[in-house]
Amino acid sequence: MTNTWILVGVIILAFVAAAAGAYFVARRTPDARQRRSIQGKVVLFLVVGLALAGYAFLADTGLRKTTLHEVVLDGMSAEGGSILRVAFDVEHPNVEHDLMIGPMFPTPSLRFADFEVELAATLTADQGSPLIDEEFTFKPRSRDTAWHPAYLKFTPTVAGPHTLTLQLRTPNTPAVHVRIADPLKTDGQRAPGY
């Protein structure tokens, strides 16, 4: 929850600093009509900042609560051929779950994603046919340390252990961020740093 408050604090401080600068300009403006106009915009700016901070708080809190499992997995070296497994327990069967898979450079990093990453993902219950069995090519984001993630949905039919298997096919894949969300969960925990 600390990261949520840091996010909200940064948004509020940025808007307050900008509004304070505009207010300082308004105080030095000799024309009363222009001064009132600037002061009205300062108030509007503060209201927008508070609304944006409130939205960020609610969105981040919602992600935090519904997280069933989240992890950042180490990628592979230049040799290639890594297989990563994520084990988790489904709590609410027959409910549509969300799965996010996204290659990334672990933070803090100054490297930008500048090549495509390929991987195959298979999601299975302990005894059952695959719920997901797909191959992905991730495109780099422009001037970012992560690639565009894949967002998938799946509906588990049984509660209990499930396994997501990722077969990395691109050498030098630094890390893979995996987040599984259950909309009925209310006490989830995000991975460290999120």
Could you tell me which residue, 96 or 83, shows the higher pLDDT? Answer: 96
Range with top average pLDDT, 42-46, 102-106, 139-143, 150-154: 150-154
Instruction: Give SS3 for 191.
Output: coil
- Cα(first)–Cα(last) distance of the chain, in Å? 9
Cα gap 5→36, rounded to integer Å: 33
pLDDT band at 134 (very low <50, low <70, confident <90, very high): very high
Please check whether residue 50 is in contact with residue 17, taking contact to mean a CB–CB distance below 8 angstroms: no
pLDDT band at 182 (very low <50, low <70, confident <90, very high): very high
Domain residue ranges in the chain: 2-64, 75-181
The mean-pLDDT minimum among 30-39, 110-119, 134-143 falls in 30-39
Over residues 108-112, the mean pLDDT reads 82
pLDDT of residue 3: 67
pLDDT of residue 116: 92
pLDDT of residue 76: 74
Reference 117, options 97, 96, 133, 141; nearest CA is 141
pLDDT of residue 156: 93
Over residues 11-26, the mean pLDDT reads 83
Question: pLDDT averaged over the chain?
Answer: 85
Cα gap 145→111, rounded to integer Å: 6
pTM score, whole prediction: 0.74
pLDDT band at 91 (very low <50, low <70, confident <90, very high): very high
CATH class of 75-181: mainly beta
Q: Which class for 143: exposed (0-12), middle (13-18), buried (19 or more C-beta within 10 A)?
A: exposed
Pairing between β-strand 175-181 and β-strand 160-168 as defined by DSSP bridges:
unpaired
Q: Which class for 78: exposed (0-12), middle (13-18), buried (19 or more C-beta within 10 A)?
A: exposed
pLDDT band at 81 (very low <50, low <70, confident <90, very high): low
Please check whether residue 60 is in contact with residue 3, taking contact to mean a CB–CB distance below 8 angstroms: yes
Given a cut of 70, is residue 39 above it in pLDDT?
yes
